[in-house]
Amino acid sequence: MTPIVAAMKKYSADAVTPFHTPGHKQGRGAHELLRELLTTEGLRQEVSLMEELDDLHEPHSCIKAAQDLAARLWRADDCLFMVNGTTAAVQAMIFGTLQAGDSVMIPRNAHRSVIAGLILSGAMPIFLPVDFDEELCLPLNVSVETIGRAIKKFPQARAVLLVSPNYYGVAADLPRIAELVHAAGMLLLVDEAHGAHLPFSAELPTSAIDAGADLAAQSTHKLLGSLTQTSMLMIRRGFVDAERVKRAASLLQTTSPNQLLLASLDIARLQMETDGRRLIGAAVELSKNLRGELKNLRGLKTFDAVKNFSLDVMKVTVNVAGTGLTGWEAEEILRRELKVQCELSDAANLLFLITYADSVETTAALVDALKLLPCRPPKPSPQSLVPSPLNAAELSPRETFYAPVEVVSLKEAVGRICAEEVTFYPPGIPLLMPGEKISAQTVELIRQSHGRVIGADDSTLATLKVVR
């Protein structure tokens, strides 16, 4: 049963003469290149805003039925389909639960959508340190102990927002954290962009909703089968005002949602409902076998055991430091010479996603390509100065966004309020975030750091942008 798809097919089969959007009029006016992309049938069904196709902002028929089916499958009380990406879902979590003056704990390496959500809501961030694997130069996650310390230090906080699993598949201990957070009267919000597949295998980390999170934003397209840009926002009722979250999501989503995107969410849910456990279980086994093969390759290490955290084995991180290559160099060789593309690279690692679409043949091709990576003289291990303070911002991201700014020398920046993000790769965890007071210790860390600078207007960091 796919309610949205059924409604689209019914409208298409009615053979109406359209005098409505989109301008291609069910494909009649589409350029042949667009036909090649979407097919004639896809264009015929690419309509929206008709009564029988429902309204994403006030769902009452096929969209509501599809969302209810998804909520049941992912064991949530409500589900909202998102066509503006998980970015909008994360922003809706924040905008729908917090307001100006509220404090929320966030990891230092939170996605930029979190900062955007804080600008929208006016909430004040409390930055949580992220544990780090020095050997493999990888960010892990926020520990239970860190959450406990943060709750004691900032008992006034309204919510805790975590990223779990993170990009490398490292998941926080959400069941224990949920207990701590709720006992303190706070909300638990989870950016679960990389975890829509978790409920379908017992060998994967516990999903956010199953762990007790109040809200979880999932990128259905990342490891499941919907189209890019489509996501779901899962709601657990009890601690949150679900209607306010829905209003926030409506404000952040387009009023002209693409019906094909909505249909792809409906179909991805159907696929997981009918065959999810088999498909995800097979991908897990494939990933485990791949890891076993990679252990035998010279110069490579895989990221496996994670003390105090759990790991999504479908995210296969390969450390290439033993080859004398950086992760960026290895990615370039794989892509340009060996025709294999990783998900991301960093100073020392490559990340490969194994999904239900993979097979023994595709993983064998990956192993064969990695065997062909050249070995070069070893390089010094990349320096990774990881910021550790548990501290609150001085100004909210909203105040910082609207504040007048000026550019000063690094030395003159001490004691000022930072107006930009400063991040080094490695480790990819911001040393400075907008709204933070710049300390002498942080300036000294910047002076000692070497690596690719992200976020700052002046990539040399001779100067910083501060609030005037």
pLDDT in tens, 241-257: 999 999 999 999 999 99
Residue 86's pLDDT band, with cuts at 50, 70 and 90, is very high
Residue 182, exposed/middle/buried by CB under 10 A (0-12, 13-18, 19+)? middle
Provide the number of structural domains found in the chain.
Answer: 4
Q: Residues 388-397: what's their mean pLDDT?
A: 87
Among 108, 106, 104, 84, smallest CA distance to 455 is for: 108
> What does the pLDDT read at residue 109?
87
Residues 151 and 296 reside in one and the same domain: no
Reported confidence tier of residue 411, pLDDT bands at 50, 70, 90 = very high
Residue 213 CA neighbour count, 13 Å, CB half = 29
173 or 303, which is more confident:
173
pLDDT above 80 (res 380): no
| 189 and 272 Cβ atoms separated by less than 8 Å | no
- Domain identity same for 249 and 287: no
Q: Look at residue 268 in the predicted model and tell me its pLDDT.
A: 96
Q: How far apart are CA 150 and CA 177, in angstroms?
A: 12
Q: With cut-offs at 50, 70 and 90, classify the pLDDT of residue 381.
A: low
The CATH code of the domain that includes 456 is: 3.90.100.10
* Segment (H or E) for 301: strand 301-302
Full residue range of the structural domain in which residue 358 is found: 277-371
Mean pLDDT for 106-135 is: 92
What mean pLDDT value characterizes the chain?
92
452 bridge partner residues: 425
Q: How confident is the model at residue 447 (pLDDT cuts 50, 70, 90)?
A: confident
Q: Specify if 144 maps to a domain.
A: yes
Rounded CA separation 148/410 (Å): 34
- How much is the pLDDT for 448? 78
Q: Does residue 88 share a domain with residue 215?
A: yes
Of 66-80, 118-132, 376-390, the least confident: 376-390
Domain co-membership, 132 together with 146: yes
The pLDDT value recorded for residue 387 is 61
Whether residue 409 sits in one domain with residue 287: no
CB neighbour burial string for 380-413, b if at least 16 within 10 angstroms, e if fewer: eebebbbbeeebbbbbbbbbbbeeebeebebeeb
Contact 239, 185 (CB under 8 A): no
* Four-CA torsion 459, 460, 461, 465, nearest 10 degrees: -50
What is the pLDDT at residue 426? 64
pLDDT of the residue at 223: 93
Amino acid identity for residue 397 in this structure:
P
Query: Do 229 and 148 fall within a single domain?
Result: yes
In a domain, 385, yes or no: no
pLDDT at 416 over 90: yes
Beta strands in 51-164 (DSSP E): 78-82, 103-107, 124-128, 132-133, 138-139, 159-163
- Do 97 and 171 sit in the same domain of this protein? yes
Q: Residue 71: enclosing H or E segment and its boundaries?
A: helix 62-73
Report CA-CA distances (Å) from 447 to 108, 111, 434.
20, 25, 19
Is residue 229 included in any domain, yes or no?
yes
The pTM of this model reads: 0.92
pLDDT of amino acid 385: 59
pLDDT in tens, 227-246: 999 999 999 999 999 999 99
Query: Is the domain of 120 the same as that of 252?
Result: yes
* 153-181 residue pLDDT tens: 999 999 999 999 999 999 999 999 999 99
Q: Where are the alpha helices (DSSP H) in 302-420?
A: 327-336, 360-371, 397-402
Same-domain status, 193 and 309: no
Q: Read off the pLDDT of each residue in 28-40 and give the average, rounded to a whole number.
A: 88
Give the per-residue pLDDT at 449: 75
- Decide if pLDDT at 370 tops 70: yes
Same domain for 80 and 177? yes
Residue 408 resides in a domain: yes
Q: What is the CATH number of the domain that holds 299?
A: 3.90.1150.10
* DSSP secondary structure of 255-296: SS--HHHHHHHHHHHHHHHHHHHHHHHHHHHHHHHHHHHHTT
313 and 437: one domain? no
The pLDDT, as a whole number, for residue 382 is: 59
* Mean of pLDDT values over 100-118: 93
Q: Per-residue pLDDT tens for 321-362?
A: 999 999 999 999 999 999 999 999 988 999 999 999 999 999
Q: CB–CB of 235/79 below 8 Å?
A: yes
Percentage of the residues of the chain whose pLDDT score is greater than 90: 74
Per-residue pLDDT for 30 more than 90?
A: no
> 345 in the Ramachandran plot: left (φ > 0), alpha (ψ -120 to 50) or beta?
beta
- pLDDT of 49: 76
Distance, in Å, from the CA atom of 427 to the CA atom of 451, rounded to the nearest integer, reads 9
